[in-house]
Amino acid sequence: MVSKNSRILDHISLDGKVAIVTGGSSGIGLASAELLAEVGATVVILDINEAAGIKAVDQIKKSGGKAKFLFCDVSSDSDCKQTIHAIHKEFGRIDVLFNNAGVMRRKNVVNLEEKDWDLMINVNLKSIYLLSRYVIPIMIEGKGGSIINNGSGWGIKGGPNAVAYCAAKGGVVNMTRAMAIDFGKQGIRVNCVCPGDVDTPLLRGEAKQLGLDVEEFMKEAADRPLGRVGDVKDVAHAVLYLASDLSSWVTGTFLIVDGGGLA
């Protein structure tokens, strides 16, 4: 039994690898960064919230993990280029990229202002293009890697008063497939995790945007086969699976983690 378990742990281990997590200062990003560090990765958190990012890194280090924070506006080409160059220069490799950064504006197409459309597309979708553009050549140089994009159940099925979010996340799902086709022969796997409603500041903020009572909103969000909203660790576990060798023959797919909400 020990030898079998040891082999499984070897497949999960990210010892010696470097993993980037965007939007890693809170929510799903933070939980994923903590878990990736726990299994041995050196985690680089990219965020625009410097105070929260530094706090997240301190938490990981206190738990025995290896982590670094870098300020990066993931919607900026120059920021992404400079940041990825700095990571490559310091560590000499990039093995995992979790494109997690995201924002939400709960409005329909009539009520949504152009600036909010641009923000949603730039942060939720364009950032994946920008970071992947600079990370993939490094992964090719290193003979492979894993890119995980954070999609959504609403990237597969539409939702109310979230037109820009649905458009962006639908793009994430199909962009994932296209990238997997383009770079599979270079040993790069590209997958998408599609969470349902997860208890994060982002989700609770949606209630406020819609003018709803937060607790009632969360109660309605729990109305799914498994009877609860997701915990950030539920999604982090899926991210670890896609980052590790456990998913070595998995690419170009989306993994729904939503308590059965789309069932």
What are the residue numbers of the active site?
165
**Tokens standing for residue 105:** 């504006």
Residues 109, 58: Cα–Cα separation, whole Å: 41
Q: How is residue 245 annotated by DSSP?
A: G
CA distances from 210 to 11, 106, 154, 203, 204 (A): 43, 7, 17, 11, 10
Give the helix/strand (H/E) hosting 138.
helix 127-141
**Tokens standing for residue 211:** 């003018």
233: Cβ–Cβ under 8 A, 6 or more apart, which residues? 31, 35
